[in-house]
Structure 1
Amino acid sequence: MKKLTLFFLALMTACLGFQACDNSKTYAEMLEEEKDGIKDFIKKNNIKVISQSEFYAQDSVTDVSKNEYVQLASGVYMQIVDEGSENKADTVKNNDLILVRFLEYSILDKDTTLSNLNAAEVVDEFKYTVTSSSIAGIFTQGYMLAYYSSSAVPAGWLVPLSYVRDRAHVRLIVPSKMGHQTAMQYVYPYYYDIQKYQIY
C-alpha cells in the first residue's frame, strides 16, 4: 500500500511539473497578441485609419498622401493606391482568372515571408468564383500555392475586388481570420502589398 501511495504521489508531482512547464498560449491570448501586433504596426507605419462611412463619403477611395487605410467590417484594413483601369467595366467577374504581384510581410515576426515582385518568371494566379452565397478564389499556380500547400486564396485578398478594377494596386492588413490556412491556424496577421490585380 505504501509503495502504491508513493507511486501516485510521484505521478502527481510529474504531472504538475509538466503542467508548470506548459508555455502554450490560449486562443484568447493569441488573439490579443494579434490585436496588439496590428495596433503596433499601424502606429509604427503612421497609418491613418478611417471608418467605412468616411471611406464611402470619399467615393470609396483612400488618400495615399495621408497614408489612409479604411477598416472594413471584415476586419481587413485596406489602402487603395491605384484603382486600376479607367474603364468602369473592367471589374472582376465570375470565373475570371486574376494574376497577382505581391509581397507578404508577417506582422508578428516583423519580416517578409513571401514575394514574387522580383520574380519575372513567376506570377501567382487564381480563379475567382461567385455563388449566390459566397465568393472564393482558388490558386492555380504561384508562390502562395507552393509555399502554403493550399489552393484557397486568403479571403482578405478578395475584399478589395469590390472596390477596384483591372491592374489595381492595394495594400492590406489582413487579420488571421481573413488570411490563409497557416495564418488562421497560428493566429498570425499579415501585411500585403498587392501591386497588381490583373484580370483576364
Structure 2
Amino acid sequence: MKKTLFALLALVGIMIFVSCNNSETYADKKKKERSAINQYLADSAVNVISEATFFAQDSTTNVSKNEYVLFNSSGVYMQIVRKGTGSKLKSGETSPVLMRFTEVNLMTDSVLLSNDVLKYSAIVDHLNVRNISGSFYGQFVSGESLFASYYSTTSVPEGLLVPFAYVNLARYASAESDIAKVKLIVPSAKGTTIASSSVYPCLYEVTLQKGR
C-alpha cells in the first residue's frame, strides 16, 4: 500500500513538474510578441526612423522609403500614408470622427476585424475624440461602431489614438487625398483588452476624417 502511495505521489510530482515547465510565462509571450513585430519589420522592409528624424521631417514619414516612426514611450510604430486636409484637433477640442480600419494579428497574420472590406463596406465607425493638453482620449459611439460591438467596449485603444497628434481631419472630402490615412503597429499593451491579455501585436490600416 505504501509503495502504491509513494508511486502515486511521485507520478503527481512529475506531472506538476512537467506542467510547470510547459506553462508559458508572460515574459515568454512578450518575447514572442517582440519576435512577431521584428519579423514583420524585416519581411516588409520597414525603414524605422526615430522620433527626432520624424519631427525634423515636419512630422511626416516617407512612404516611398517605407518609413515608420517608432514612439519609444508606447512602442507604437506609425506610418503616415496621407496627412489629410482640414486641421488637427486643438487642445480642449472634442470632435466626432469617422474611422475605417483593418486589424491584423501579427502573430497569425490573419485579419481579425475590418469595416473596410466588402462585407462591412457600408459601416463607418463613429467616435468622439478629445484633446486635453496634447493627450487624446476617445470613445466609440454606442450602436455606431463595429469595433465597439465586436470588443464590447466604448473606449478607443490607446494605440489607435496616436495619429491624432499628427494628422488633419477633413470635414468634407472631395478626394481620397483629403482623408488622413495611417498604418500602425500596436503592441499588446496599447491595443484591445483581448490583445493585452493574450499578448499579441496588431497591424492597423486606418483612415480618419471629421464627422458631422
2:46 maps to which residue?
47
Answer yes or no: is the 8 Å Cα contact 1:152–1:180 preserved in 2. no
SS at match of 1:129: strand
Q: Are 2:55 and 1:56 equivalent residues in the alignment?
A: yes
What is the TM-score with the length of structure 1 in the denominator?
0.88
Match of 1:91 among 84, 88, 91: 88
Match of 2:198 among 177, 181, 186: 186
1:146 maps to which residue?
149
State the 1:19 CA deviation: 4.1
State the 1:8 CA deviation: 6.0
What is the TM-score with the length of structure 2 in the denominator?
0.84
Answer yes or no: is the 8 Å Cα contact 1:92–1:199 preserved in 2. no
Answer yes or no: is the 8 Å Cα contact 2:89–2:131 preserved in 1. no
Question: 5+ unaligned residues in a row in structure 2: which ranges?
Answer: 170-178
Distance in 2 (CA, whole Å) between partners of 1:45 and 1:133 is 31
Describe the shift of the 1:157–1:13 C-alpha distance in structure 2 as closer, same or farther (beyond 3 A): same
Distance in 1 (CA, whole Å) between partners of 2:89 and 2:40 is 30
In the TM superposition, what whole-angstrom CA distance separates every residue of 1:16-46 from its partner, at most 9, and x where no partner exists? 3144145431000000000000000000011
SS at match of 2:23: coil
Q: Which runs of 4+ in 1 moved over 6 A?
A: none
Aligned length: 194
1:121 maps to which residue?
122
Describe the shift of the 1:48–1:13 C-alpha distance in structure 2 as closer, same or farther (beyond 3 A): same
Match of 2:8 among 7, 10, 13: 10
Question: 5+ unaligned residues in a row in structure 1: which ranges?
Answer: none
Describe the shift of the 1:18–1:191 C-alpha distance in structure 2 as closer, same or farther (beyond 3 A): same
Q: Give % identity.
A: 38
How do residues 148-167 of structure 1 correspond to structure 2 at under 5 angstroms? 148-166=151-169, 167=179
Over aligned residues, Cα RMSD in angstroms?
2.0
SS at match of 2:94: coil
How do residues 15-54 of structure 1 correspond to structure 2 at under 5 angstroms? 15-21=13-19, 23-54=22-53
